[in-house]
Amino acid sequence: MPAILAALLLIAAALPAWAESRPVAELRYWETRYHENAQKIDELRSALELAAQKNPDLETLLALSQVCFMYGDVRAKTPEEKMEAYDRGRQIAKRAVELAPKSAPAQFWYGTNTGRWGQTKGVMRSLFLLPTVKDAMETALHLDPSYAPAYALGGSIYYAVPEFAGGDLDRSEALFRKGLELDPHYTNMRVGLARTLSKKGRTADARREAMAVLDETAPSNRADWIVKDVPLAKAILDQTKGHP
């Protein structure tokens, strides 16, 4: 009987932790499948907010920051809704950075949400955020040079920012290419590379990368590929049609 009682007590002690991590596990399932039921993003956002209130551990904070970004990208209908989602995501990611300053994902989600928040406000109106976003990206790469998403963030920064403020298309291309070496099926990275090549006037190369996105058979994130990357790749092909 003492052995049975001890086992039951261990199970009971584990239940709260399991219950709190369930939304995180659900996000891991739906992050690549949300195209099947986009409303799951809304549900997961609410569930992770509650989970973060009960137990703001690193795993939960990162998941909440990620789902805020997903909501801003996929579910928000107005610029105000998008900005609110990205702002919440960056606030949560900042808490994650404070909790675990050596976490590359924490730095990445802080930089990504901050960057998208600024992008939604308008690049020229949010240049003051650039040092924060670049620092988060560079810190993530310093902490984990094999963390592919940080290269996507870096490539996007140097693509979007005007040259007078530090934009650099050569550096953007290099970062995107390095990220693709690490994950050749990261289609958002390839879209970024295609955009950069197009901006550099290398139309044929840009079209080749856009076509590679459309022809991808095993995207790292199938939901992102279907919902975001394929439409963007098609837009690049349309914009460069007839150009040498």
Residue 242 is predicted with a pLDDT of 76
Sorting pLDDT into bands at 50, 70 and 90, what band is 228?
very high
Sorting pLDDT into bands at 50, 70 and 90, what band is 244?
low
Q: How does pLDDT run across 200-215, given as a tens digit for each residue?
A: 999 999 999 999 999 9
Q: Is the pLDDT of residue 243 over 90?
A: no
Q: Is the pLDDT of residue 227 over 70?
A: yes
How far is the CA of 152 from the CAs of 85, 113, 235, in angstroms? 20, 13, 19
Mean pLDDT of 65-93: 97
Q: Is the pLDDT of residue 4 over 50?
A: no
Mean pLDDT of 117-126: 78
| Residue 158 identity | Y
Q: What angle do CA 175, 66, 209 make, to 5 degrees?
A: 35
CB 230 within 8 A of CB 218: no
Residue 10 is predicted with a pLDDT of 41
Q: How does pLDDT run across 25-51, given as a tens digit for each residue?
A: 999 999 999 999 999 999 999 999 999
Q: Is the pLDDT of residue 7 over 50?
A: no
Lowest mean pLDDT among 56-70, 108-122, 225-239: 108-122
Q: Is the pLDDT of residue 2 over 80?
A: no
Instruction: For residues 82 and 229, give the distance between their C-alpha atoms in angstroms, rounded to a whole number.
Output: 19
Mean pLDDT of 83-97: 97
pTM above 0.95, yes or no: no
- Residue carrying structure tokens 């107005």: 78
| Residue 8 identity | L
Q: φ, ψ for residue 52 (rounded to 5)? A: -70, -30
Q: What angle do CA 67, 54, 19 make, to 5 degrees?
A: 75
Instruction: For residues 105 and 58, give the distance between their C-alpha atoms in angstroms, rounded to a whole number.
Output: 10
Query: Which of 129, 93, 85, 95 lies closest to 109 in space, CA to CA?
Result: 93
* DSSP codes joined into one string, 60-71: HHHHHHHHHHHI
Q: Is the pLDDT of residue 148 over 60?
A: yes
Q: Is the pLDDT of residue 232 over 90?
A: yes
Residue 1 is predicted with a pLDDT of 41
CB 143 within 8 A of CB 104: yes
